[in-house]
């Protein structure tokens, strides 16, 4: 009996050893492993665009231009207020944009309470969604890198190229310098536009002088941002921006009568000397600064991104280069948003 038991024990041990030596690794049994498809493994490119009341057609045109010019896996984050969200959602779902990947995110304007100084010269600049860029990590939480775009842009290049912008170690964001492209200098001079810190900050105030920033320092435009969310949170960028918003309420350090926007000034302060650069062709701007000043058609055709920053928007009249913008516009199925044209 003992010999039989011993023989059975030996056979059992041999069977275990055989299975271990000849076992096929799970990863090699490709017929039964549920692997992700290449499309699912492709990196997602999050693009943040606001959809404000009265200018939703701008957001739609921007999204349309991005989606039409790339094969990348883009996820659009469309930020709106509670009252405007149903409109933009219906517009997308009932147009050719219904194929895009998107999430609609509600922005709560209460986070701005007590942080915005009232300014009657350009009240549209005080709209809550102008400050969405300050709160990117609170709205977009699962991504390491994010693209933010103002709504008054169209994209003519592949958004993947903008997403691949390299950010230097320790930089939370990349912007376009206002002095970066000689082709825009003539435009800036012709319309009397500012492209230095002196055009955005009130250097008569001690708090501004104490920053130690030369007033002739070239400014940058935060209408196109490539942001690193980890660095943004680590450096507490949102808290820093809120601090300068609060100080402006108390001390009037900047206003919309200077550089034409109250969202730019705190960013100029917080990011001074601490940002990377975006390829200049990925932010050709000032198209909305004058109803008369124009770029050459060849230059605009070569541009990767066009920005109608300024008062004269391409869905209104007067404005310039509206044909380039209108190529990407998709009419509102509800009929609420209409283009303003000379014959309308």
The candidate with the shortest Cα–Cα distance to 282, out of 177, 186, 196, 202, is 177
8-state DSSP, 111:
G
253: its two tokens: 């350090």
Q: Give the pLDDT of residue 21.
A: 41
Enumerate domains of the chain plus CATH numbers.
45-183+220-235+275-327 (3.90.550.10)
Q: Give the pLDDT of residue 30.
A: 31
Sequential pLDDT tens for the chain (344 residues): 566 656 666 666 565 555 544 443 333 223 323 333 444 446 999 999 999 999 999 999 999 999 999 999 999 999 999 999 999 999 999 999 999 999 999 999 999 999 988 764 566 667 899 999 999 999 998 999 999 999 999 999 999 999 999 999 999 999 998 886 666 666 666 555 678 898 899 999 999 999 999 999 999 999 999 999 999 999 999 999 999 999 999 999 986 555 556 899 999 999 999 999 999 999 998 899 889 888 899 999 999 999 999 889 999 999 999 999 999 999 999 999 999 999 86
| Residues sharing a CB contact under 8 Å with residue 55, sequence separation 6 or more, in sequence order | 151, 152, 313, 315
What letters, b where the CB count within 10 A reaches 16 and e where it falls short, cover 156-173?
bbebeebbebebeeebbb
Q: Give the pLDDT of residue 255.
A: 64
Note the pTM of the prediction, 2 decimals: 0.86
Q: Give the pLDDT of residue 7.
A: 61
With contact defined as beta carbons under 8 Å apart, do 215 and 312 qualify? no
Q: What are phi and psi of 94, to 5 degrees?
A: -115, 30
Residue carrying the six token digits 């883009």 = 74
Q: Answer left, alpha or beta for residue 63, where phi above 0 means left and psi between -120 and 50 means alpha.
A: alpha
């Amino acid at each position: 009996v003992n010999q039989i038991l011993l023989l059975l024990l030996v056979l059992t041990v041999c069977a275990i050893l055989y299975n271990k030596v000849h076992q096929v690794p799970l990863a090699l049994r490709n017929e039964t492993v549920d692997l992700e498809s290449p499309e699912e493994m492709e990196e997602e490119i999050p693009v943040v665009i606001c959809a404000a009341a009265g200018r939703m057609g701008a957001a739609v045109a921007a999204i349309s231009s991005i989606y039409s010019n790339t094969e990348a896996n883009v996820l659009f984050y469309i930020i709106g207020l509670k009252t405007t969200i149903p409109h933009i959602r219906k517009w997308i779902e009932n147009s050719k944009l219904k194929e895009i990947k998107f999430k609609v995110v509600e922005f709560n304007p209460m986070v701005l309470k007590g942080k915005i100084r009232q300014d009657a010269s350009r009240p549209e600049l005080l709209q809550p969604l102008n400050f969405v860029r300050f709160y990117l990590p609170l709205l977009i939480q699962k991504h390491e890198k994010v693209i933010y775009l103002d709504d008054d842009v169209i994209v003519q290049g592949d958004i993947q190229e903008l997403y691949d912008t390299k950010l230097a170690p320790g930089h939370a964001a990349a912007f376009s310098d206002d002095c970066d492209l000689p082709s825009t200098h003539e435009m800036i001079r012709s319309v009397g536009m500012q492209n230095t810190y002196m055009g955005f900050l009130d250097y008569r105030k001690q708090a501004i002088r104490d920053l130690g920033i030369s007033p002739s320092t070239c400014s940058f435009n935060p209408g196109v941002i490539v942001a690193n969310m980890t660095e943004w949170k680590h450096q507490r960028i949102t808290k820093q921006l809120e601090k300068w918003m609060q100080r402006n309420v108390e001390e009037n350090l900047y206003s919309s009568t200077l550089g034409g926007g109250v969202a730019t000034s705190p960013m100029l302060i917080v990011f001074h000397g601490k940002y990377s650069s975006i390829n200049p062709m990925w932010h050709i701007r000032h198209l909305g600064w004058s109803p008369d000043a124009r770029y050459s058609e060849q230059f605009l055709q070569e541009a990767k991104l066009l920005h109608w920053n300024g008062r004269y928007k391409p869905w209104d009249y007067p404005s310039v280069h509206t044909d380039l913008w209108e190529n990407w516009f998709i009419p509102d199925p509800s009929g609420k948003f209409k283009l303003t044209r000379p014959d309308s």
